[in-house]
Amino acid sequence: QVQLVESGGGLVQAGGSLRLSCAASGRTFSTYFMGWFRQAPGKEREFVAAIRSSDSNTYYAAAVNGRFTISRDNAKNTVYLQMNSLKPEDTAVYYCAATQKWGIVVVRQDEYNYWGQGTQVTVSS
């Protein structure tokens, strides 16, 4: 099992940057496939980014590709989401998620077994 705690959310102006962190418990963090999802008010939760455990290959939603960067530091049991060139439409609660499953469809919420509580990101125009 793993417990996830997000941090780093806040209020930023459009065009600004923010880095989210997801701290994980346990000793097997390096084996987990990690993802970030977000949910805006009145909308469904959507995939943002993900990173493999094996080779650290990354995946991004088209809406954030080129602006956001996901990374992991296995020594610190932490994954990050660096968000640059933020837009008002990026406003959402951002969730960290984890799974040890293999061969998953990375954009599917149901593939992830563990979730953090979320951190609010608000981008003002």
Whole-number pLDDT of residue 26: 79
Q: What is the pLDDT of residues 7-51, one digit of tens each?
A: 999 999 999 999 999 999 978 899 999 999 999 999 999 999 999
Q: Position 109: which residue type?
A: Q
Q: Which of 74, 76, 86, 114 is nearest to 19 (CA)?
A: 86
The 10 Å CB-count burial string (b at 16+, else e) for 48-80 is bbbbebeeeebbbbeebeeebbbebeeeebbbb
Q: What is the pLDDT of residues 55-68, one digit of tens each?
A: 889 999 999 999 99
Is there a contact between 59 and 79 (Cβ–Cβ < 8 Å)? Answer: no
Q: What is the pLDDT of residues 84-93, one digit of tens each?
A: 999 999 999 9
